[in-house]
Amino acid sequence: MTAFFMPTKEKKLSSALIHWYNKSARDLPWRRTIDPYLIWISEIILQQTTVDQGLPYYTRFVDRFPDIQALAQAKPDTVMKLWEGLGYYSRARNLHYTAKYVYSELGGLFPDSYDGLLTLRGIGPYTAAAIASFCYNLPHAVVDGNVLRVITRLYGLQLSIDEKEGKNEVQKRAARLLSFQQPAVFNQAIMELGALVCSYKNPDCSNCPWKKDCKAYGKDEISRLPIRTKKIKKRTRYFHFYIIEYKGQFLVEKRLAKDIWRDLHQFPLLEMAKETFSNEKRPLEWILPKEAIFLSATQGKQTLTHQKIEAKFFHYRVSRKRSQERMFWVQYKSLLGHSWPKLIRNFIEESLLIG
């Protein structure tokens, strides 16, 4: 398909959207470049992350790793520390893996085609379409959460966006709307419309360039669309963390299992059953000497996409060290130099005091 064969209605909608975007777009650093490395970093950060939250991470990341070589040669712990707090940490691991692959196997050059980009770890259809259009101006329509919402409302689609049929229909509609003359601008524009105007809650329909053509608006179905049929089931896990202090040092380990917070750090942990979690402190006898002094107990919690974490932190002081496999001692002043889950970092900042 070429722009010449683009249906008149879609061409009109596309032009109106681009006109709106040229007047209303936010000035964001990744919109001032066509460098695939920088676009890639921004897109990975913005997965599951808002622009307001992701912007400072992007700035710190590219300041530290200005090019593919710098990221490829970085230590894993350094990458994870810069990612700390963003969540979905597999993104950071895939980012680092792909940087090393592109640098060592592809001569530091990203593939310049949609299909080529799809071969890289951590890059799926959305990210490949974004890089292909933003960097190489290739006509591939992006479909992220914003686009799913915008297209569903525009056409009044009664299909669930959780299901394959619904996603495929949105992809087809987005491709029909895509400006083949300005694919990069159009893709930025439709995502921007979803972020600034066609928001999930309280959309600003009065300022939408597609208001007159929006079927959901015309039928007063904005609040009902898009349709979702799958509900995320969250399980609750119960953690007892043991803060073991020796002369201003603390026993720490890295999480290595294929579980939440992989490659981040934690204090020694016992995962509890619900019925035993509420019990008073239960010392780790294999690591705490009998003369250990109990100092305090603190509670915390964190909600993740598929899990809720209920935690207790038991702080002990010991007069001698017991070394354990994969654990190491860290000075108090160096604790925050390591990467932590948000739950534990909050505890360190707010509750961990040395008497």
- Residues noted as catalytic: 43
**Chain-centre distance of CA 203, in angstroms?**
23
* Residues 6 or more apart whose Cβ sits within 8 Å of residue 213: 9, 13, 154
Please compute, for residue 47, the number of CA atoms within 13 A of its CA located in the half-sphere on the CB side.
Answer: 24
Please compute, for residue 238, the number of CA atoms within 13 A of its CA located in the half-sphere on the CB side.
Answer: 8
Place of tokens 């604790």: 335
Say if residue 113 is exposed, middle or buried (CB neighbours under 10 Å; 0-12, 13-18, 19+): middle
Question: What backbone torsions phi and psi does residue 269 show, to the nearest 5 degrees?
Answer: -130, 140
Q: Tell me whether strands 265-266 and 249-254 are parallel, antiparallel or unpaired.
A: antiparallel
- Written as one string, the DSSP assignment of 261-279 is TTT-EE--EEEE-HHHHTS
Secondary structure letter of residue 314 according to DSSP: E
Ranges of beta strands (E only) in 169-317 are 235-246, 249-254, 265-266, 269-272, 293-303, 307-317
**CA 320 – CA 328 distance, rounded (Å):** 14
CB of 243 within 8 A of CB of 355? Answer: no
CB of 155 within 8 A of CB of 124? Answer: no
Structure token digits, residue 57: 């991470």
The secondary structure element, H or E, covering residue 327 is strand 327-331
The one-letter amino acid code at 136 reads Y
The secondary structure element, H or E, covering residue 340 is none
